[in-house]
Structure 1
Amino acid sequence: MKTLFKYFAAIGLAAATVACVNEEPKIDPTPEPPVDGRDVGTLVLDGSFGLVVESRNEEIDNTPGAGTRANGNTDVNTYTVKILNADKGSEEVASFLYGERPTEPIELPVGNYVLKVFSADTPDAAWEGVADTPTYGIEKAFRISKGQRTELGTLTCRPLSVKVTVAYRQSLYELLSADTEADVVLSGVHNLVFAKDEKKAGYLRPLHTGADKENDLVLYLTTVYEGKQITRQPLKVTNNAKAGEWRKITIFLENGESGSVIINAEIETWVNGETIDVDVQQLATIGEATIPDIDDPDAPKVVWSKSDEPIRDKVVLTDDSYNEDGYYLGDANVTIHAKDPMQRFMLEVGSDNADVKALLEENELTEEVDLFTVSGKARSRLRLWGFPTMNLNVTDRTFDLAPLVKVIFDYEGTHTFRMTVTDERNRRSTTELIFEVNKSGGADPNIRWIGNDIDQRHDVVDGLQVEIRITATKGIRSLMVEIEGALGEGLPSVQIPSKFDLVDPEATQAGLSTILGPFNEATGVGFGFPVGDDVRNQTSILFPITTFMPLMGSFKGDTDFKLTVTDNEGNTIAKTVMLHVN
Structure 2
Amino acid sequence: MKKVTYILFIALAVILSFTACDREKMDNDTVELGEGSVNLASLKDLSVEVSSSTPITRASEVNTDNYLIRIYDAEQNLVREWKYSELPEIFTLRVGSYTVQALSHEVQPAEFEVPFYYAEESFTIEANKVKDLEPLVCKLNNIKVSVTYDDKLKEVMGEDVKTTVTVGDASLAFAYDETRNGYFKSNADGNNIMKAVMTGTIDGVAREVPYPIKNIKPGQHRLIKFYLKYVNDDGYIEGGFTKLKLVIVATCTVIEKGFTNREEEETIIDPNPPTPSGKAPTIVGDGFDIDESLDVPIKRDEGGNLIGITVVVNIEAENGFSNLKVKIDSETLTPELLEEVELASEFDLAYPGDLRTGLESLGFPVGDQVLGKTTLKFDITKFTPLLGIYGPATHKFIITAIDQSGNSVEKTLTLISVAEGE
TM-score, length of structure 1 as denominator length: 0.37
1:334-380 Cα distance to aligned partner (Å, 9 max, x none): xxxxxxxxxxxxxxxxxxxxxxxxxxxxxxxxxxxxxxxxxxxxxxx
CA–CA separation in structure 2 for the residues paired with 1:243 and 1:281: 22
- 2:98 counterpart of 1:110: no
- 2:111 counterpart of 1:126: yes
> 5 Å matches for 1:270-281?
270-281=255-266
Q: Which amino acid aligns with 2:212?
A: K
1:258-299 Cα distance to aligned partner (Å, 9 max, x none): 33322111211112322222222222234558xxxxxxxxxx
Match of 2:181 in 1: 201
Q: Which amino acid aligns with 2:153?
A: L
Q: Which amino acid aligns with 1:173?
A: K
1:80-131 Cα distance to aligned partner (Å, 9 max, x none): 11111123xx212111122222223x22222221212112212222112xxx
Match of 1:85 in 2: 73
Say which SS state the counterpart of residue 270 (structure 1) adopts. strand
Displacement of 1:47 after TM fit?
4.3
Say which SS state the counterpart of residue 216 (structure 1) adopts. strand
Cα–Cα, structure 1 residues 196 and 48, in superposed 2: closer, same or farther, change >3 Å? closer
Match of 2:251 in 1: 266
> 5 Å matches for 1:404-415?
none
Say which SS state the counterpart of residue 99 (structure 1) adopts. helix
- 2:241 counterpart of 1:253: no
How many residue pairs match? The answer is: 233
TM-score, length of structure 2 as denominator length: 0.51
Displacement of 1:49 after TM fit?
5.9
Cα–Cα, structure 1 residues 261 and 159, in superposed 2: closer, same or farther, change >3 Å? same
Match of 1:509 in 2: none
Contact 2:99–2:120 under 8 Å retained in 1: yes
Match of 2:120 in 1: 139
Say which SS state the counterpart of residue 126 (structure 1) adopts. strand
CA–CA separation in structure 1 for the residues paired with 2:268 and 2:123: 45
Cα–Cα, structure 1 residues 216 and 119, in superposed 2: closer, same or farther, change >3 Å? same
Contact 1:260–1:288 under 8 Å retained in 2: no
Displacement of 1:171 after TM fit?
0.7
Q: Which amino acid aligns with 1:139?
A: E
Unaligned runs of 5+ in 1: 1-34, 58-64, 290-582
Displacement of 1:48 after TM fit?
7.2
Match of 2:147 in 1: 166
Cα–Cα, structure 1 residues 148 and 172, in superposed 2: closer, same or farther, change >3 Å? same
Say which SS state the counterpart of residue 121 (structure 1) adopts. coil
CA–CA separation in structure 1 for the residues paired with 2:86 and 2:32: 30
Contact 1:79–1:118 under 8 Å retained in 2: yes
CA–CA separation in structure 1 for the residues paired with 2:143 and 2:149: 20
Contact 1:49–1:151 under 8 Å retained in 2: no
Match of 1:234 in 2: 210
Q: Which amino acid aligns with 2:211?
A: L
Unaligned runs of 5+ in 2: 1-29, 234-243, 275-422
Cα–Cα, structure 1 residues 230 and 250, in superposed 2: closer, same or farther, change >3 Å? same
CA–CA separation in structure 1 for the residues paired with 2:56 and 2:210: 33
CA–CA separation in structure 2 for the residues paired with 1:38 and 1:67: 43
> 5 Å matches for 1:286-305?
286=271
- 2:270 counterpart of 1:282: no
Displacement of 1:36 after TM fit?
4.8
CA–CA separation in structure 2 for the residues paired with 1:115 and 1:68: 20
> 5 Å matches for 1:153-192?
153-187=134-168, 189-192=169-172
Displacement of 1:242 after TM fit?
2.4
Displacement of 1:241 after TM fit?
2.1
CA–CA separation in structure 1 for the residues paired with 2:218 and 2:56: 19
Contact 2:49–2:56 under 8 Å retained in 1: no
Q: 1:42 aligns with which of 28, 37, 42?
A: 37
CA–CA separation in structure 2 for the residues paired with 1:48 and 1:235: 42
Q: Which amino acid aligns with 1:74?
A: V
Contact 1:54–1:272 under 8 Å retained in 2: no
C-alpha RMSD of the superposition: 2.7
CA–CA separation in structure 1 for the residues paired with 2:265 and 2:126: 51
Say which SS state the counterpart of residue 158 (structure 1) adopts. strand
CA–CA separation in structure 2 for the residues paired with 1:98 and 1:47: 12
Say which SS state the counterpart of residue 41 (structure 2) adopts. coil
Match of 2:334 in 1: none
1:550-579 Cα distance to aligned partner (Å, 9 max, x none): xxxxxxxxxxxxxxxxxxxxxxxxxxxxxx
Match of 1:100 in 2: 86
Match of 1:305 in 2: none
1:502-522 Cα distance to aligned partner (Å, 9 max, x none): xxxxxxxxxxxxxxxxxxxxx
CA–CA separation in structure 2 for the residues paired with 1:195 and 1:49: 41
Q: Which amino acid aligns with 2:122?
A: A
Match of 1:76 in 2: 64
1:402-424 Cα distance to aligned partner (Å, 9 max, x none): xxxxxxxxxxxxxxxxxxxxxxx
CA–CA separation in structure 2 for the residues paired with 1:201 and 1:117: 23
Contact 1:78–1:98 under 8 Å retained in 2: yes
Say which SS state the counterpart of residue 46 (structure 1) adopts. helix
Q: 2:194 aligns with which of 217, 229, 233?
A: 217
Higher normalized strand content (fraction of residues): 2
Cα–Cα, structure 1 residues 53 and 47, in superposed 2: closer, same or farther, change >3 Å? closer
Displacement of 1:39 after TM fit?
3.1
Q: Which amino acid aligns with 1:96?
A: W
1:203-251 Cα distance to aligned partner (Å, 9 max, x none): 1112x1225xx321110111232333313x31013x1322221111111
1:412-464 Cα distance to aligned partner (Å, 9 max, x none): xxxxxxxxxxxxxxxxxxxxxxxxxxxxxxxxxxxxxxxxxxxxxxxxxxxxx
CA–CA separation in structure 2 for the residues paired with 1:250 and 1:268: 8
CA–CA separation in structure 2 for the residues paired with 1:142 and 1:68: 24
> 5 Å matches for 1:125-524?
125-128=110-113, 133-187=114-168, 189-206=169-186, 208-210=187-189, 214-231=191-208, 233-237=209-213, 239-258=214-233, 259-286=244-271
Q: Which amino acid aligns with 1:153?
A: E
Identical-residue share of aligned pairs (%): 24
Q: Which amino acid aligns with 1:218?
A: K
Displacement of 1:37 after TM fit?
5.3
CA–CA separation in structure 2 for the residues paired with 1:102 and 1:120: 19
Q: Which amino acid aligns with 2:210?
A: P
Cα–Cα, structure 1 residues 180 and 167, in superposed 2: closer, same or farther, change >3 Å? same
Cα–Cα, structure 1 residues 235 and 99, in superposed 2: closer, same or farther, change >3 Å? same
1:31-50 Cα distance to aligned partner (Å, 9 max, x none): xxxx9554333211114763
Say which SS state the counterpart of residue 172 (structure 1) adopts. helix
